[in-house]
Structures are given as C-alpha cells and as structure tokens.
Chains A and B, each alone.
Chain A
Amino acid sequence: MRLATILSSAAHWSRAVLAVGAVSLLSACDYNFWRMDGHQSTIKVEGPVAKSQLDVFYVTCWVTLVIFILVGAVLAYASIKFKARTPEEEKAIPPEQGHGNPLIEIGLIGASVLALVVIAIPTLKGIWYTYDVPEDRKADTYEVTATGYQWWFKFDYPSEQIAGAGALTTANELVIPAGRPVRVNLRTIDVIHSFWIPKLAGKVDMIPNRANHLWFQADQPGYYWGQCAEFCGDSHAVMRFRVIALGPKDFNDWLTQQTSPARDVAPPRVATKDAPKVQFASLRTFKQNETGHTAKYDTSPLDAWKAQQFPEKGENAALIAQGKALFKEKACLSCHEVRGHGYAGISGPTLTHFGSRSTLAGALLENNTEQLHRWIHNPESVKPGNKMAKGYIDNNIKLTNEDEVALVAYLQSLK
C-alpha cells in the first residue's frame, strides 16, 4: 500500500487543484442549474392544465420531501450513532440478535399508506380534469387537429373551411385564441410522435391507428415553445413547434389572412433580361447543429412574431417572380402547397403563408433570409434523414446560389 500513502500526501495538492478548478468552472458558466424558467419550463406555467399538473407535482414533491427528511434523518442517525469507531469496538461482543418488531412494521406500513392517500386524491382529480375540457367550457372550446410527420407538425382548423380547399391548414406554428380552451386532436402520418407544450400542458402521444386528444388553454396572449417528446427517428431532437396565442381581434385578423390565398407580388414591368443584375453573396458555411436563432424571439417573441406578418420593405419583385417559377421548375410543388399559385403538393408542410411564420424546418430555425437559405441549400445537414434532402437526390435537383436566393425571396414574400 505504498501507493496509498503517496496518494494521501498528494491529496493535499489535489485539493488545491480541485478548488482552483471548481472556481474556474463556476465562473466559466452560468451554473445555477436549479432555475427552471426556460421557454419549456413545466414550473413557470401559463395555463390551467399545466397548472393542475404542476399542483399535483408539488403535492408529490412535498410529501416525498418530508418523508425523505424523516427517514433520512433516522438513517443518518443510525449510521453515525451505531458505528464502530475502533477495531476493538468492531470485535466487541455482537449486539443483541433481535429479529424485528411487528408493531413498528405495521405502524410504518400504515403511515406509508396514509402518505400515499394524500398523493392519490389530487392525482385522481387531476387525471379527470386534464383529460378533457370541463363541461361548462365545452361551448367555448376551439378545436384543431395536429398531425405528426417525420419531423414536423401539421395543423388543421376544421372550423375554418375555405371554399374549394377544405379546412385551413398550417404547419409548425399553431395559432390559437388566448383565454379559450383548445382541444387538439392528435394524429400521425408515420411513426409515434408526442405533442408537448410544457408551459401549457403535459404531453400526449400521436399514435398510428389511435384517436388521441388533449386540451389546454393559454391564459394570456403569448408565444410558447413545443417539442416532440417521443423518439421518432433520426431527427427527433429537432422536431419542434411553436404555439402562438392571440387575443380575439388579432386571432380573427390572422384567420382572415390565412384563409385568403397566397400573396402575389406582381412581377416588374421590365423584361427580366433587362433587369439590373444582382450580385449574390454566397452562403457562409454553418457548423454542424449550429443554432439558427437570434435573440429577438427570446426577449419579445410575440412582438417579433407580429412583425413577421407584414411584407418586408424593398422586396425584389423580379427575384420573387424568378423564385416562383423555380418553385415549379425544381419540383418543389410536388410536395409543397402554395394555395392560389397553383402549387398543391401535400406530403410536405404547406407554404401558402410561409413568410408569416417565425420559424422554419420544423421550428428549428428562425425564419430569416440567412437561415432559410441555409435550409434550402443543404437540408440534410440541418435535419438529418429528412424527406426534402431525399427529394433533392431522387429528383436530381441541383440549385445554384442564384436559384436559392430567388427561392428564398419568393418564400419570404408569402405573407
């Protein structure tokens, strides 16, 4: 055991090294991991369903904490009090060889059952409350259907019928009326997904051959982060979505905008070949998994989202027209719909009002020029295994930088 002695003398040094390391570690990062106020917090909730789930959690938390402290204290006391401190004590005559005490056993079993009853009652209440919209709120309920695809979400609004086009459909951003119960029918087109908006409600799975639903309510207008919570293949981690809750007027405005056909930017009068040549900066390279967000959606997301609803100034009409033609030429239309422009693909997310969304690629990237360009340029690097990347290969689609810029301009014009 010579090594042991060397090590114990080295312990003094290592302690100093550890202290220095710990301090540098703490200063190097924001270490307060116990703060639970992120965009997907289940603690800072903003709706009655998540609230009731949180209440149940707090009950379980307090009950178990109290038991933990009681039992832990006895355990700690026993391990310290009855510890043999010297070799003599270890070899002393063994203690009384007692086999137990039935009264204590029965008492403790009774106490555990009581503690569980305390948890069981709010649990049962919560199960019934969170399952479906309460009777007295049913009339006020807004219904939508969410469908999981590898790896994005489609949203249908059965109450908003469009002449000749069926129900209103959007993707990846679910816009709902604030202050009203929302009942979401959960469907899937392929594998199992799970629909989770932590601040509004716990998750419910989307399972093939099964008609699931969940309900929630956003008490105030707001912008909420959601994410698929059931492993669904390669890009499960980047299958995200957003929920935007709007006041009555904003919501109606949004519905009016969404139910109308895609916006058409009139092509310029000048013939295309005479148009001034634009120099396109080529796309910078992105790191693997590089974040696609700016801070504006962290600070005032709802304002940022609202600003996204209006056309940008200085749109290049020629470029947009070019993009619109490319959309057909490069077979984008075989999967994507742009209602009103004659494009009616159904297997990919609808793009009719794509420009009005705050995110793209399954709410992974912020909807801005650079990120949209990054996505169109190489979807596989953003979302491994996705169908668009496969579509490029299957249909032998090759895009030049100019093509990509034109498509970006076109898509962004679709407010």
Chain B
Amino acid sequence: MDAILKSDLQVKDVAPETKSSVFWRPTAQTGLISWLTTVDHKKIGFLYGIFALFFFLVGGFEALLIRLQLMTPNGTVLTAQQYNTMFTMHGTTMIFLAVMPLSAAFFNFIMPLQIGARDVAFPRLNAFSLWTFVAGAIILNLGWFMSAGAPDAGWTGYAPLTSKTYTPDHSVDMWIMGLQLLGVASIAASLNFIVTIINMRAPGMTMMRLPVFTWMTLITAFLIVLSFPFITVALVEIMMDRLFGTSFFEVSGGGMPILWQHLFWVFGHPEVYILILPAMGIISEILPTFARKPLFGYPIVVFSGASIGFLGFSVWSHHMFTTGMGTVATAAFSLATMAIAVPTGVKIFNWIGTLWGGHISMRTPMMFALGFVWMFMVGGFSGVMHSAAPADAQQQDSYFVIAHFHYVLIGGSMFALLAGIHFWFPLMFGRKIGEFWGKLSFWVIFAGFNITFFPMHFLGLNGMPRRTFTYDGNLGWNSANYIATVGALILGVGIFIYFAVMVYTYFKGEKVGKDVWDARTLEWSLPNPPPEYNYRVIPTVHARDAFWYMKQNKEQIAKEDAAHAKEEAAHGGIHMPHQSIYPFVASLGMLIAGIGISVMDNDPTPGFWGKKIGVTMIGGAVMLAGIYFWALEGNGGYHLHPENDGDESSGKKPAKH
C-alpha cells in the first residue's frame, strides 16, 4: 500500500495543460467537453440526478396517460397497444431510469463526502457507468421514434410473450438491449462504490462508524453486483432466442417459459431492495439531523439493512405464488417473506426511537421523511398481506398489488429521494429551498399520492386486474378509478410545484452558509458547494456522528487538521485525477453496437458488411478502442495546494455546478 502510494505521488507537480502525451487529456472546466470528460464524482452525481429527474417526469407523464385512460369505464384516450406501451415504459422508466439513477446520484455525490474521501476509487469507471446508463436509456426509448414502437410486453417481460412468435417487431429487442446496458452501468458503478467504501474511508472511519446512508449504499451495491447477473443471463437467453433461434424459452423447441420468471425475480426481488435501501439510508440521515439526536439503535439499523439484503435473495418466488409451485415451495417462500417483515419493522421502530425525546425541527426534508415513514408502513403492511400465499392468490396481478408497490416505491423510495434533494440541496448548490414552497409541495404530493393509490386497494379486492386498458362500467370499479385519476392529477400538480421551486431555487434561491441544518455527518463540514478536491485536509474520525463530534471538540480537531495538512504538503499536495474522454467513447461504442443489435433489421444475406452486423461491429470497435486508450492513457493527475477550505488553487477553479 505504501509503495503504491509513493509511486503515485512521484507524479510531478505540473499544471495539467503542459503535460505532453500522445493521448488527449482534456482540461476544459466549462462547456460540453467538461461534462463529457469529467471524472469528478460530484459532477457525475449531478448528471445522474438530472437524467433521473428528466426520466422521472417522462415516466410521470406516461402514468398520467394511463390514469386518464382509466378515468371512466371504456376509456378512449389510448388504444390497447398504446396503453400497453405506456404501462411497460412507465414501469421500466421509473425503476431503471428514475429511482435507480436518482439513488446513484446520491451515492455519487454524498457517499464519498460522508466517508471523507476525495473521489471514488475509480473516477473514470464512474464516468463510464454514467454514460453507459445514458446509452441504455436511449436504446430503451428509441422505440418512441420508430415504427416498431416502444416496448409493450410489460416491465417484467414474461416469456414467451417476448419471443419472436408473439412480439415479432424490434420493440422487445430494444427493451432487452437497453436493460443489458443499464445492467453493465449498474454493476460497474456498484463495484466502484464497494471499493470506495471499503478502501477510501478517512482515518478512524471504522465500518461501525459509517453513516447509515453509506452503509445502505454498500449493501445496495452488493445487491446490484449479486443480482444483476441473473437478469443478464435471462436477457442474453431471450436475446439468443430472438436473434439466433435458440430455445431457452421457445416452447416449440422444448424451452421453459417458467425459467424466465425464476431468473427475472431472483434479480427482481433484490431489485426491490435496491430501490428501497438507499431510501432507508436517506431517512436514517434526515431523522437524527432534525431530531437533533443520534440514530436510535445504529447497529440494529445497520444489521437489519444487511439482513434485508440477505433475505431479499430468498423470497423471489413470492412473485410467483400463482404459478403452481406446489405446497412446500409456496409455504417456504411465504414464511421467508414474512421473516423479512421483522428487519423492516425494526427500522421503523428505530426511526420512532430516534424521534423520541428529540427536539424535532419540522423542516421540509423532515416532512418528507415522516411522510416516508407513514407511507412505507402502509406499503409494508400490504406487503405482509401478500406474504400470506392464499390471500395473495386473490391479490396477485390485481390493483391491490399496484397499490402496494406504489406505496413502497412512491410513498417509500420517491418520498425519501425527494426528502434527500431538499436535505442536501444546500450542500450541493449553496442555496436552500424555501420552507413555504417546500411544505406546500409536500402536502400536495402527499394528498395526491394517497387519493390516487389508496382506493386502488379496494379496486384490487373488488377484482380489477392490472394491465387492463379498459373495463366495463358494471363491475363496481368506476368511482375508485375516477378518484384515482383525480388524485393522479393532484400528484402531478404537486410534483410540478416541487420541481418548479427547485429550479427557481437553483438560480435565485436563498444563499446559505455551510452546515445549514446543524447536521451530524462529515459532508456538512465542507463549504458549499464543495470544492472539486472535497477535503483540503482529510479529516480524522473519532465518533459515529463524526461532524457532530467535531463541532463539540473544535480544538482537538484543529490541531489534528494542522498536523495532517503538513503531512499532505510534504507529500506534494492534493492529488487530482485527469479528465478523460475514453469512458465516454467506450459507452458510445456500446450505444452504437446496441443499436446495431436491437434496432437494425436482420440482413437478408448475413456477412461482414451487412447493415446489422456492420453497425454492431463498428460499435464494438469503438468500444474496444475506448477501453484500450483508457487503459493506455495512464492515471495521470496533478496536484493542488489550497490554503484554506474551499480555496481555488493552482489556477484551477473548484467544480462548478
């Protein structure tokens, strides 16, 4: 370790623009190139957030069309096929292109700051993850602009409906390829986070002192690394079936459609926790901050998060209670699913314990966080109802399920992410969202959300199946559907207020100094927005709520900082990585190859220069070139010598957002 550090520090302290190399090392600090070549985890996190919020609005628009179609019986807003496209893309978009990347935005931006690091372990891999995610998102949505149309086989893509026989057009190919690329992006990012959290913690930041959000990032990253291979295998198999006529799921060739469901849900259920654990982490940061006391039962919260992660791999077949698994398997998965309620319940108890005896400041992030606890409780309890397999036989694929997972994913994940945006906005941009507007948006979202989804429980129990583009008026579903649509419009207004206020605040909001909430974790010790090197001096951690401790023991910390600063100066200052275009090039190659594979028609006479094969080969070549140059250009890097926290140094400006 020492040797590596030393050799790394041999890099001469020269300004980046003077370094001569056959490889282009971009240095732009503003403009398009700076964004395409950035390796700064904060800029990458910001980009993740922007893309996620864009797709969140797209997915929300799709949801509104769905609700408008169902507002009255025999609706005529959409055709059957358009409706099926809408719910397929709504699900895929919200899960893979909105909630996951928004979590990734927080992982990127906040996690390295929380552990006192200057960047993630592999900055260029981080950029690659981002651009590969964008490539996947593009391919998923290409169908809107093509005659094949966007995917319409459901976000679960059950075989054999996705086979060539039943969906001959390219829409499913795009879905497959898009998800594959998103998987590559997620796995690359997760490996990066795992290495970062394990290796790059500041001195004294032991595992049991990690902020809970960082813990949940770590667990989520492990879940992604372990679960995505399953869907990758499934997607490769269905792609083989479609492209090369294999028979993994093709019944006429002896294939097994049920295999798809197992592979999909072995991924799909951990995916549920991939969506909710980051949210739980955010909540576990916000509640202590605003209750002004430490998280109640930190070790239990951490261990329950980990056990949710473990158990998450043993319950996938509760999505398949109606597939005729037989009594023993059904019973086993039923009990395992109930078991998962225990660690989940523990978290709720601990959040309440955190509030108990605190001095609660009811600021907007806190409102969203409390809204999360309430809504997540409702979603959790309907989840317990699903775990009872006989009851689930009636609820499966009905609107009861729709109600359940929207309570968990909007009332849960989304509320927490919206809380997180409010919470960390001052740190990210140095401006604070106004309390009045924040609370107004909270109440409108809260009301709209409940008006939309609470009646759906009753719809489901009254026998309305999901994924239906029309229903007759004689089944007792009219009023609940009407109310749900009105609620969805209110929810839409709430989301609009939320984002309008956010955009306004970004440009013109109230400016605030550092540590606006009197918070507890390390990231709040930074000036806002944080400089590109994050910490002028790597902090030393003495307690779980590291920054809270620092505020109580200023003299000790000042002494340590001075000593550290000297050491670092002796090592040549703060080492910063160079920007690089090659991660972007590699992702671009994957995009081109992905388009070749999924969008191009099969060549009538396959050959090297056929259109499909040609485009795929070109994409592959670009990707390989990107990876190769990326490997050859070397680490590079330069040094900074800021005098004070947040100083500009070496003629370089701190990252601007």
Contact = CB atoms under 8 A, between A and B. Distances in A.
Contacts of B458: 33-36
Q: Considering residues A33, A108, A210, which has the most beta carbons from chain B within 10 angstroms of its beta carbon?
A: A33
Interface residues of B, number: 113
B634 interface: no
Interface string A66-91: 01100110110011001110000110
Given A95-B292, A98-B293, 17 more contacts: A1-B436, A4-B437, A31-B483, A35-B462, A42-B398, A68-B377, A94-B293, A96-B357, A105-B346, A112-B342, A123-B334, A124-B334, A131-B326, A202-B394, A210-B258, A233-B84, A384-B79
Interface string B269-306: 00000000000000000000001111111111000000
Contacts of A345: none
B385 to A, nearest CB: 4
Nearest to A201: B393
Contacts of A227: 463, 465
Contact of B345 (A112, A122, A128, A198): A112
B293 A127 contact: no
Given A36-B461, A43-B462, A97-B294, A128 B357 contact: no
A304 interface: no
Interface string B367-384: 000100110011001101
A276 interface: no
Contacts of B370: 75, 79
B251 interface: yes
A29 B385 contact: no
Interface of B: 73-76, 79-81, 83-84, 153-154, 158, 160-161, 165-166, 251, 254-258, 291-300, 322-324, 326-327, 330-331, 334-335, 338-339, 341-342, 345-346, 348-350, 352-353, 355-362, 370, 373-374, 377-378, 381-382, 384-385, 387-398, 434, 436-437, 440, 455, 458-459, 461-480, 482-483, 486, 544, 548
Contacts, number: 345
A32 interface: yes
B292 A94 contact: yes
Interface stretch (A55-63, A310-318, A391-399): A55-63
B257 A84 contact: no
B374 A126 contact: no
Contacts of B477: 38
Contacts of B462: 35-38, 40-43
A113 B341 CA distance: 9
Given A60-B384, A94-B359, A108 B330 contact: no
Contacts of A335: none
Contact of B390 (A25, A68, A126, A232): A126
A336 to B, nearest CB: 22
A135 interface: no
Given A89-B359, A236-B467, A119 B388 contact: yes
Contact of B389 (A89, A123, A298): A123
Given A209-B255, A287-B76, A130 B390 contact: yes
B339 to A, nearest CB: 7
Contacts of A67: 381
A289 interface: yes
Contacts of B544: 99
Contacts of A37: 462, 476
Contacts of A43: 461-462
B508 to A, nearest CB: 11
Contacts of A75: 352, 355, 370, 373-374
Contacts of B338: 116, 119-120, 123
A78 B355 contact: yes
Nearest to B320: A205
A127 B331 contact: yes
A385 B153 CA distance: 14
Contact of A35 (B256, B377, B476): B476
Nearest to A288: B76
Nearest to B548: A97
A237 B166 contact: no
A83 to B, nearest CB: 5
Interface string A377-401: 0000000110000000000000000
B394 A64 contact: no
A104 interface: yes
A291 B355 CA distance: 53
Nearest to B163: A191
A353 B473 CA distance: 28
A4 B436 contact: yes
Top 5 A-B pairs ranked by shortest CB distance?
A202-B393, A40-B463, A38-B476, A126-B390, A237-B468
